[in-house]
């Protein structure tokens, strides 16, 4: 393994020792195996290639202040993959199989888990693919489940520093009764154009409004949205938003802080009324938002970021993830490496 400069890691792919795999054939899952192969040999007519029959997850392992390694809410990721797969008529690994494959992939790559204090962590990427050769649009009978890991730094370049974002008016990431609530590749394919345009203009991410009317806030291309005002943590309730595990955790932590949690549609006009807004997700953790630009009205909503509540929430979440405070909600799962 070449020397990794943990403190300088961005959010990208770093080659590790191996990945874990498991295949579904004839109605059942096989054994989890480890392979050093970074490629997937696959039939040219596999349903994942043509019809997007694929789902994935993203979670992290943290090396704690006490030296212990911990997954954060891995059971939630397993359940979300089961939901995503069901929506696309795919076979999903059970919660137990999901966890086993993740554990094996992490254990076999222990030296890639960034040390405590570097701000980096080990990102775990489970991936589920339909691999039966089909030409008609239908579900696979065979599936491949892969888990690879890669050490990562912050998703947004400067970590817990304010980001500028832009409201996306020309593209939708998900249809009103479509796949937005699932973690499937098609949602991201639909967002690549808008994401690239946002980056070119110097924005960290794009913020989607509801696809039907553009009247309500949905989410960012790669993270959920929350706003803070009047002692409340407000986050969109929308079927086109990915149910973020970070957001779910922040809602609980916000309640712990004595905030009222409101899970409801957020009308566009409300954006200007928030004291703080933020993007949250496994990759982003919390990125406080400094400015939201709306090209339709050429208007910028500004926030003094990072705000007090976002900072408290970020600190609480990371304190649990890095084992600095008691995990009283039972969110972490130790892994012996």
Ligand X SMILES: Cc1ncc(COP(=O)(O)O)c(C=O)c1O
Would you please indicate which residues are annotated as catalytic (active-site) residues?
Answer: 183
Binding to ligand X by CB under 6 A, coded x per residue (else -) over 117-146, reads: ------------------------------
CB of 174 to ligand X, least distance (A): 9
Nearer to ligand X by Cβ, of 69 and 184: the residue is 184
- Return the range that interacts with ligand X (CB under 6 A); candidates 34-42, 222-230, 299-307, 310-318: 222-230
Q: Should residue 223 be labelled a site residue for ligand X when binding is judged by CB under 6 A? A: yes
Helix orientation angle between 308-321 and 245-256, rounded to the nearest 10 degrees: 110
Instruction: Report CA Rg, the chain.
Output: 20
Q: How far is CA 332 from CA 64, 199, 316, in A?
A: 11, 34, 14
Query: Out of 179, 282, 310, 332, which residue is the one contacting ligand X (CB under 6 A)?
Result: 282
Which tokens go with 287?
A: 């990125």
Q: Should residue 244 be labelled a site residue for ligand X when binding is judged by CB under 6 A? A: yes
CB of 14 to ligand X, least distance (A): 18
Q: Should residue 179 be labelled a site residue for ligand X when binding is judged by CB under 6 A? A: no
DSSP structural state of residue 184: B
Helix orientation angle between 74-87 and 245-256, rounded to the nearest 10 degrees: 130
Which tokens go with 327?
A: 């995990």
Give the CB-side neighbour count of residue 132, counting CA atoms within 13 A.
16
The three-state DSSP-derived secondary structure of 239-279 is: CCCCCCHHHHHHHHHHHHCCCEEEECCCEHHHHHHCCEEEE
Q: Taking a C-beta distance cutoff of 8 angstroms, is the pair 264, 320 a contact?
A: no
Nearer to ligand X by Cβ, of 244 and 332: the residue is 244
Nearer to ligand X by Cβ, of 32 and 81: the residue is 81
- Return the range that interacts with ligand X (CB under 6 A); candidates 163-171, 241-249, 309-317, 327-335: 241-249
CB of 221 to ligand X, least distance (A): 6
Which alpha helices (DSSP H) does the chain contain, by range? 47-51, 74-87, 95-107, 185-200, 245-256, 308-321
Query: Out of 224, 238, 287, 321, which residue is the one contacting ligand X (CB under 6 A)?
Result: 224
Count of residues touching ligand X (by CB under 6 A):
13
Nearer to ligand X by Cβ, of 165 and 223: the residue is 223
Buried b (16+ CB within 10 A) or exposed e, 308-330: ebbebbbebbbebbbbeeebeee
3-state class (DSSP) for residue 177: coil
In the range 180-219, which residues lie near ligand X by CB under 6 A? 219
Q: Should residue 242 be labelled a site residue for ligand X when binding is judged by CB under 6 A? A: yes
- Return the range that interacts with ligand X (CB under 6 A); candidates 10-18, 106-114, 281-289, 318-326: 281-289
Q: Should residue 99 be labelled a site residue for ligand X when binding is judged by CB under 6 A? A: no
- Return the range that interacts with ligand X (CB under 6 A); candidates 159-167, 253-261, 275-283, 294-302: 275-283
Nearer to ligand X by Cβ, of 152 and 305: the residue is 152
Query: Out of 281, 288, 306, 323, which residue is the one contacting ligand X (CB under 6 A)?
Result: 281
Q: Taking a C-beta distance cutoff of 8 angstroms, is the pair 148, 186 a contact?
A: no
Nearer to ligand X by Cβ, of 224 and 238: the residue is 224
Cα–Cα distance between 152 and 255 in angstroms, integer?
Answer: 30
CB of 7 to ligand X, least distance (A): 22
Q: Should residue 246 be labelled a site residue for ligand X when binding is judged by CB under 6 A? A: yes
In the range 283-312, which residues lie near ligand X by CB under 6 A? 283
Cα 35 from chain centre: 25
Cα–Cα distance between 93 and 128 in angstroms, integer?
Answer: 9
Residue number, nearest CB to ligand X: 281
Indicate the length of the chain as a whole number: 337
Instruction: Give residues in contact with ligand X (CB under 6 A).
Output: 58, 219, 222-224, 242, 244-247, 281-283
């Amino acid at each position: 393994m070449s020397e990794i400069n943990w403190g300088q890691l961005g959010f990208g792919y770093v080659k590790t020792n191996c990945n874990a795999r498991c295949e579904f054939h004839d109605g059942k899952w096989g054994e989890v195996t480890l392979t050093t192969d970074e490629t997937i040999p696959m039939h040219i007519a596999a349903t994942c290639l043509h019809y997007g029959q694929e789902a994935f997850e993203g979670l992290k392992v943290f090396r704690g202040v006490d030296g212990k390694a911990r997954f954060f809410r891995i059971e939630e990721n397993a359940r979300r993959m089961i939901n995503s797969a069901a929506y696309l008529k795919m076979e999903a690994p059970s919660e137990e199989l999901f966890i086993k494959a993740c554990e094996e992939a992490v254990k076999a790559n222990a030296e890639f888990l960034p040390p405590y204090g570097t701000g980096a962590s080990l990102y775990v990427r489970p991936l589920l693919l339909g691999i039966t050769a089909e030409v008609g649009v239908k579900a696979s009978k065979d599936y491949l489940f892969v888990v690879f890991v890669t050490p990562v730094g912050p998703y947004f370049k400067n970590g817990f520093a304010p980001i500028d974002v832009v409201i996306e008016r020309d593209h939708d990431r998900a249809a009103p009764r479509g796949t937005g609530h699932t973690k499937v590749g098609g949602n991201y394919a639909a967002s690549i154009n808008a994401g690239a345009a946002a980056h070119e203009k110097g924005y960290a991410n794009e913020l989607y409004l509801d696809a039907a009317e553009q009247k309500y806030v949905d989410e960012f291309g790669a993270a959920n949205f929350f706003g803070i005002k009047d002692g409340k943590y407000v986050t969109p309730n929308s079927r086109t938003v990915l149910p973020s595990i970070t957001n779910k955790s922040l809602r609980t932590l916000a309640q712990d802080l004595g905030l009222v949690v409101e899970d409801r549609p957020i009308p566009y006009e409300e954006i200007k009324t928030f004291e703080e807004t933020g993007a949250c997700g496994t990759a982003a953790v919390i990125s406080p938002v400094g400015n939201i630009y709306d090209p339709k009205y050429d208007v910028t909503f500004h926030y003094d970021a990072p705000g007090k509540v976002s900072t408290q929430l970020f600190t609480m979440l990371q304190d649990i993830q890095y084992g600095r405070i008691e995990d009283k909600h039972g969110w972490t799962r130790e892994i012996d490496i």
